Amino acid sequence: MHPEINLSDFKATATIDWLDIAVTLGRTTQFQYVQAELHGLLGLSPSDAVIHVTPQNVDKCTDAATGFVLRLQEHHHGNNAAKIAHVVLGLAARFEFAAPARIAAIEVAFDLKPRHDPQAVYDAYALLQGGIAAYGEHARQYAPSVRHGGQVVPLTLDPLLAPQGTLYVGHHDAKHGHQPTPKAYRVYAKVTDNNAAPLPPEQHRARAEVTLQLDALEEYGLTDPLALASYDFTRLADLLHFQQLKPVEAIVQASRNKLATDLREAISAIGTTGRPTSPEKLAQFRWRVKFSPVKAAALASLHRGTDRVMEWQGGWLGSEGRALQHSKDTTPDAKLNRKVKSALQALSRGMASATYPPTPKRCARPR
């Protein structure tokens, strides 16, 4: 389904890609004054970087508001909990908050960065999107399975994109005309920056992102921007979780065993009751024979060892409100999941250990 890669050839890291913080000020003001204060707190000028500030419930007469949502990108906070706290406390001192600041949304990314060959980023991308992008009933399943109404479905395809594309599951905003979902995913090969400018090859990486918002923030305890230094990001390991297909032989054997068990049960039922098998049951067996283990093996062989590329126009269609699921034909990718957990542990340590503002270097006194 995806190429085999040696994970030791990749550096695995985790980062907070961006963080939305909602604040309620004690008095009305316009967004540019909040933005200017943010730049001052972070030592930025407007030409260095513009921090996105979105006012809430704007007064049309004065163009002012008390509620604002601040988006801090990774290059603003640098995975530094002390820096994030410095921003929140600085704004509170300047404008006086009417309510505690809260996290409105957060996006955590897991990256696999090639150590040697930049082109290997596409193999890593195929590994990530092939392992995480499963959703819906019986996602990524080759073996026959009975669904509602007795219909037998032998193969479920997932929407997979070309390496130049991005795979979406759920959505974190409404710009595509959908309601935001509590947990949303993106998986892609990051070879350009946010302005679509090419990144140098040494910065290429395969990335899987999960966005938490709405009730997912409460579920994972990510509500207080002042508590990030003590947060254990390994709590998100179940979200950044990867599976891989079992060997085709195991899938076929499990299907063959299930078919044999069903036939034995039917024969036993006939012997016990003296009645023939119902037409409905016989129809199910005919379906199972039609989509037999041999059929499942042929379908699996057709796709195994390839990226199984399928263009998925729009990207968002079909994943509204669905949770990530994995079928009985997959098994946890233990090595990759250990990489994820280790990267999240490093993220926790980095958030807790950094300081802000940095301690100035002492100059040697002249003698």
**pLDDT tens across 223-265, in order?**
999 999 999 999 999 999 998 888 877 877 877 787 778 777 7
Look over the chain and give the mean of its residue pLDDT values, rounded to a whole number: 82
pLDDT for residue 289: 64
Confidence of residue 326 (pLDDT cuts 50, 70, 90): confident
Q: If pLDDT is split at 50, 70 and 90, which confidence band does 341 have?
A: very high
Provide the residue type at 288 as one letter.
Answer: R
Has residue 320 got a pLDDT over 80? no
**pLDDT score of 307:** 39
171-215 pLDDT, tens digit each: 788 876 778 889 988 888 999 987 789 999 999 999 999 999 999
Question: What angle separates helix 279-290 from helix 248-273, to the nearest 10 degrees?
Answer: 160
- Locate the DSSP E strands across the chain: 10-29, 52-56, 65-73, 97-114, 145-146, 152-153, 166-169, 183-190, 205-213, 243-245, 330-332
